[in-house]
Amino acid sequence: MPICRNVQALAGYTPGEQPSDPDIIKLNTNENPYPPSPKVAEALASFDYRKLRLYPDPLFHAVRERIAEINGCRSGQVFVGNGSDEVLALFTRAFVETPDGTIGYFDPTYSLYPVLTEIRDSRKSPVALPDDFTWRMPEDYDASAFILTNPNAPTGIAFPRDVVAAFCRKFRGIVLIDEAYADFADANCMDIATSPENANTLVMRTLSKSFSLAGLRFGYCIGPEPLIEALFKIKDSYNMDWFSQTLGLAALNDLDSMRANVAKIRATRERVATELRGLGWHVLPSQTNFLFAEPPGHNAAEVFEALKRKHIYVRYFPAPRTAPYLRITIGTDAQMDALLQAVAPE
């Protein structure tokens, strides 16, 4: 068969369901329940459609300069992709050889990483986290690259910045710290990427979660210039279209709006965690816009189905480590009240 061996064997990544029924309370893909900045609406309304005649800026200068300004680095240290999922795919192509390169990641973590390794046709080297899902790294661990979600998903637990920094210093391969949820956390690792001593670490962010722009497709990473140049070398010429560049820039020019939404979501997160604990749930401490929580009857799959019948969608990961839990995105207060009511004993 002409289909590549590794592609034939591939199970592929399973995204969360995107139901079209607007009555569904959608708490299954960590989208932001609040709209993006009004500056995005203004930029969209004033967008001159005639500009679409021209190719977009292949090096997206304007957004890179703004990202550099926000994060205190040079624009030559910034790469931008069509969602951070594209940045991840390019990362595996730029820094991991086929077939002998090895990609490491924690178990459990974002389930795209093993799929990307299979697509790349490289080796996997997962590191099992302990039962409480806190940091654990074997003394002699080695791989070509390690992809680290911090705060982690789907657990919501943040690894301490100093522990991550010590790992990056010692690790001989390249590290990518996926900070998709860092805006919801108390701390982040961006200074590891921007430090002049750093030669092997990239920190990645996305506009999909905290900036409410999952539908736009905009993710970026920051790190040492030689690594960023490698990503530019292999990317599609025009991977960021005019809409992504224009609307992404508008969003990045209004951090206050993002921060106000994040503050609301963090407050809702703490309230719902407390209420679920009151109902007997085991709720992991979350630094993200979701909760990873075990229902009191130890019947996560049943609760998942029961919620679905009530038109509330959450996420259930049937793999052994994650099967006791449900991942519940933090929605509006009204949506979370509906969830709490749906799980309360009759």
**Footprint on this chain of ligand PLP (rule: CB under 6 A):** 30, 83-85, 110, 149, 153, 178, 180, 206, 208-209, 214, 219
User: Computed over its alpha carbons, how large is the radius of gyration of the chain?
Assistant: 20
Calculate the dihedral angle through the C-alpha atoms of 55, 229, 213, 340, rounding to the nearest 10 degrees: 160
Q: Whose Cβ is closer to ligand PLP: residue 56's or residue 81's? A: 81
User: In angstroms, what is the minimal distance from the CB of 285 to ligand PLP?
Assistant: 17
Closest CB 302 distance from ligand PLP, rounded Å: 26
Of all residues in this chain, which one has the CB nearest to ligand PLP in the complex?
A: 83
Chain-centre distance of CA 101, in angstroms?
24
Bridge partners (DSSP) of residue 204 are 178, 221
| Coil, helix or strand at residue 114 | helix
- Smallest distance from the beta carbon of 219 to ligand PLP, in angstroms? 4
Strand-strand pairing, 174-178 and 145-149: parallel
Judged by beta carbon, residue 70 or residue 306, the one nearer ligand PLP is 70
Cβ nearer to ligand PLP, comparing 137 with 207: 207
Round to whole Å and give the CA distance between 113 and 154.
Answer: 13
Nearest distance from C-beta of residue 346 to ligand PLP, angstroms: 34
With respect to ligand PLP, which residue has the nearer C-beta, 153 or 190? Answer: 153
Count of other CB atoms within 10 angstroms of residue 63: 23
Q: Looking at the DSSP assignment, which residues form a beta bridge with residue 25?
A: 312
Helix (H) or strand (E) holding 303: helix 300-309
Of 206 and 268, nearer to ligand PLP (C-beta) is: 206
Residue 85's identity, in one-letter code, is D
Give the shortest CB-283-to-ligand PLP separation in angstroms: 19
Shorter beta-carbon distance to ligand PLP: residue 287 or 338: 287
Q: Terminal CA-to-CA distance of the chain, rounded, Å? A: 56
Is-contact 95 145, C-beta < 8 A?
yes
Determine the Cα–Cα distance for residues 261 and 264; give it in Å rounded to an integer. 5
* Residue keyed to tokens 């490491």: 104
CB of 10 to ligand PLP, least distance (A): 19
CB of 180 to ligand PLP, least distance (A): 4
Peptide bond into 224 cis (omega under 30): no
- Pick between residue 118 and residue 178 the one whose CB is nearest to ligand PLP: 178
